[in-house]
Amino acid sequence: MAITEDTPYPVEFSAPKELIDHAQYLEEELFQIGDHKVWDYNTPNKGFGNVIMIEGDDGLIIVDTTTAHEHAQVAQQAFAKLTSKPVKAIIYTHHHADHINGAGAFTSAEEVANGEVSVIASDTFLREMSDENQATAPIMGLRASYMYGQLLDPNGDGRDYHISCCGYQLQAQTTSYLAPNHFISDSETLTIAGVKLTLFKTGGESASHLAVYLPDSKILLSGDEIQGPNYPNLHSLRGTKPRDAQKWIAALDRMRTFDADYLVPSHGQPVIGKQEVAKVLTTYRDVIQFTHDQSIRYINKGFTPDELANAITLPSRLSHEPWTQEMYGTVKHNVREYYVAYISWWNGDPAELDPIPRQEAARRMVALMGGRDQVLTAAETAFFDDDPQWASELSALLVRIDSQDTRARQLKAAALRTIGYATSNTNWRGFYLTSALELEGKVVPQQVRQQMMQSLFKPEDIGTAQLLEMLRYRIDADELGDDQLKIAYRFSDTEENFTLELRNGILQLHSVLLQDSDVTMTLARTTLDRVFQQQLDYADAIAQDLIQVDGSLLALRQFGQVIDQDQGNPYLSLR
């Protein structure tokens, strides 16, 4: 329900000077690294992430490709003014979308397939991409759109907003990811277009991470192990698998041994000079270790996640702007992740082991406090007394009980907006301000997610096994019940064979045709893509002779019934 009446809780827009000033580090700009034939394009097209070009004797090497084809095209056009040499290789430092989705601006799928162009990544790249980018893509994508402020009106709440690590806009119209064809298992020294490169796995910021060192020019390409001009996201609020601090520290220590003259992260401006490079690498790794080690220290004292967040702060001796400014990561949200990673989601108090459901607990709490009107009055008092956090927590109880309570929604939105305007950390600011819009009915998560999936989900970019694996997370176990099914796929164009075995409420993928399958479908991989894009269903494909069926149509119909079609409406604040 969109709220149409004027709010009784107006909040005047503001943005901290620290936030406004920080944007200087993400200005769209092309840097040459010393007098070497290496260029770093910072946030092309005011997008998200950098593109790095290394010019060799007879070709180019591209390192990272931003979040979208249109962003990468701007970089490609700038590079074309410098050289007409062809691209010989693309290197992905890791699997995150802001490093891989513009590859098609620099080469074609045909050139990659016939071996003219190498696309290089870690040997864990595809697994991590499947586990993180694809398995939880619907909810992670939604949370990312909040965190990165992508739903904010640039003339409204989005004024003076930028993503402090990385740039401005995540997506444009299209993505052009190209799958890797060369994998690094530990470290490897390559010569491409006459350029000597040492590629080595690091695995800190993501488990698929690798970095690149150019020994002849003493240039270190750190990817996201230096996560832009700010204190790092040791845990990402958009959602991510746990980030291994020990590996991250080890990765930075390995980089320190190169004694590089230039440090070129994949976000933000390059670092010039041996002394400054050493200082940045050392301070950055020390900040990570400090956060990690002090978390463990306090965990062992019995501190819970919320207590950790209020106990640990960065000392001034670790300050080195902008690299340690809490503009992207914060100590408060990073230390909570270490508690979960090392101990549990549970704080140890049995009273909180199996708590009363949130809505019922809110109902009882409000009744104890004298009822809805009493709580609303207390929340309003807190709001007008400049205590927006308490106002947001009190009004949240009312919204939880009745999501149609207009006044409570307006008050919670105003409280979040007040906090958001005062917040310079761009992740937190994005969540505060977008959640306010959600409460006002101006952002509807279900619609946002549908639009994102329609524009960004490209099954043709995903391997067949990975695509079919995604069905694991859509099995309606109650619908399947005690039934067992085996659904086989024979792909006529790619000559791949798979069987989906459903039993005990789970789906297991087999990379062979099982002889006792209930039904076998023969089809082109392009037909499967259209099914996944919901341009076609199995019944229509069969009717159009795009799928040939051998076996039980009843089993195929039952298979369709156990695929959960309900995508939910995952409100983040209106709940």
> What is the tens place of the pLDDT at every residue in 86-111?
999 999 999 999 999 999 999 999 99
Is the Cα dihedral 276, 281, 287, 293 positive or negative? negative
Average pLDDT, the chain: 96
Q: How does residue 6 score in pLDDT terms, banded at 50, 70 and 90? A: confident
> What is the tens place of the pLDDT at every residue in 498-542?
999 999 999 999 999 999 999 999 999 999 999 999 899 999 999
- Domain 358-448, CATH number (from 2.40.30.10, 3.30.70.1290, 3.30.70.890, 1.25.40.880): 1.25.40.880
Which residues fall within 8 angstroms of residue 314, CB to CB, at 6 or more apart?
231, 287, 290, 291, 324, 326, 331
Q: How does residue 452 score in pLDDT terms, banded at 50, 70 and 90? A: confident
Domain ranges of the chain: 17-276, 358-448, 459-562
**33 φ/ψ angles, rounded to the nearest 5 degrees:** -90, 100
**Residue of 274, 279, 248, 250 lying closest to 261 (CA atoms):** 274
pLDDT for residue 129 is more than 80:
yes
Pull the structure tokens for residue 558.
């039952």
> What is the tens place of the pLDDT at every residue in 352-409?
999 999 999 999 999 999 999 999 999 999 999 999 999 999 999 999 999 999 999 9
The pLDDT value given to residue 481? 96
pLDDT for residue 174 is more than 90:
no
Pull the structure tokens for residue 505.
């409420």
- Please report how many Cα atoms fall inside a 13 Å half-sphere around the Cα of residue 528, on the Cβ side: 27
| Portion of the chain with pLDDT greater than 70, in percent | 99
Q: Are 314 and 231 in contact (CB under 8 A)?
A: yes
pLDDT for residue 213 is more than 90:
yes
The CATH superfamily assigned to 459-562 is: SCP2 sterol-binding domain (3.30.1050.10)
The pLDDT value given to residue 228? 95
Pull the structure tokens for residue 120.
């290089």
Q: What is the largest CA-CA distance in the chain?
A: 78
pLDDT for residue 290 is more than 90:
yes
Which neighbouring-strand residues pair with 198?
Answer: 189, 213
Pull the structure tokens for residue 540.
């229509």
Instruction: Sort strands 182-184 and 187-192 into parallel, antiparallel or unpaired.
Output: unpaired
| Portion of the chain with pLDDT greater than 90, in percent | 91
Please give, one letter per residue, the 3-state secondary structure of 20-54.
HHHHHHHCCEEEECCCCCEEEEECHHHCECCEEEE
Please give, one letter per residue, the 3-state secondary structure of 293-313.
HHHHHHHHCCCCHHHHHHHCC
More confident residue, 567 or 253: 253
pLDDT for residue 258 is more than 90:
yes
Q: Are 380 and 411 in contact (CB under 8 A)?
A: yes
The pLDDT value given to residue 242? 87
pLDDT for residue 47 is more than 70:
yes
Q: Are 11 and 418 in contact (CB under 8 A)?
A: yes
Write the single-letter amino acid at 284: Y
A 10 A CB-CB count for 529 gives: 18
Mean pLDDT of 123-129: 94
Q: How does residue 461 score in pLDDT terms, banded at 50, 70 and 90? A: confident
Report how far residue 195's alpha carbon sits from residue 59's, in angstroms, rounded to the nearest whole number. Answer: 9
Mean pLDDT of 547-571: 94
Q: How does residue 132 score in pLDDT terms, banded at 50, 70 and 90? A: confident
Q: How many residues appear in the chain?
A: 575
DSSP string across 105-174: GT--HHHHHTTSSEEEEETTHHHHIIIIIITTHHHHHHHHHHHTTTTS-TTTTTTT--BTTTBS-S--S-
> What is the tens place of the pLDDT at every residue in 300-335?
999 999 999 999 999 999 999 999 999 999 999 999
CA distances from 412 to 146, 306, 442, 517 (A): 17, 22, 14, 54
A 10 A CB-CB count for 287 gives: 22
Give the chain's radius of gyration (CA, Å): 26
Write the single-letter amino acid at 482: D
> What is the tens place of the pLDDT at every residue in 326-361?
999 999 999 999 999 999 999 999 999 999 999 999
DSSP string across 349-418: -GGGTSPPPHHHHHHHHHHHTT-HHHHHHHHHHHHHTT-HHHHHHHHHHHHHH-TT-HHHHHHHHHHHHH
Q: Dihedral (C-alpha) 377, 416, 443, 398: value to the nearest 10 degrees?
A: -30
pLDDT for residue 144 is more than 80:
yes
Which of 194-203, 385-394, 448-457, 506-515 is least confident? 448-457
A 10 A CB-CB count for 154 gives: 12
| Alpha helices per DSSP H over 402-522 | 406-421, 426-439, 445-456, 464-469, 477-480
Residue with tokens 């459903």: 502
Report how far residue 62's alpha carbon sits from residue 112's, in angstroms, rounded to the nearest whole number. Answer: 14
Mean pLDDT of 5-17: 93
Q: 249-274 in b/e burial notation, b at 16+ Cβ within 10 A?
A: bebbebbeebebbbbbbbbbbbbeee
Mean pLDDT of 555-574: 94
CA distances from 206 to 189, 236, 295, 546 (A): 22, 11, 20, 40
The pLDDT value given to residue 135? 84
CA distances from 265 to 21, 99, 205 (A): 20, 12, 13
Report how far residue 129's alpha carbon sits from residue 94's, in angstroms, rounded to the nearest whole number. Answer: 9
pLDDT for residue 455 is more than 80:
no
Pull the structure tokens for residue 18.
């620290």
Residue with tokens 């290496």: 38
Strand order in the sheet with 187-192: 187-192, 195-201, 210-214, 219-223, 262-265, 271-272
CATH of span 17-276: 3.60.15.30
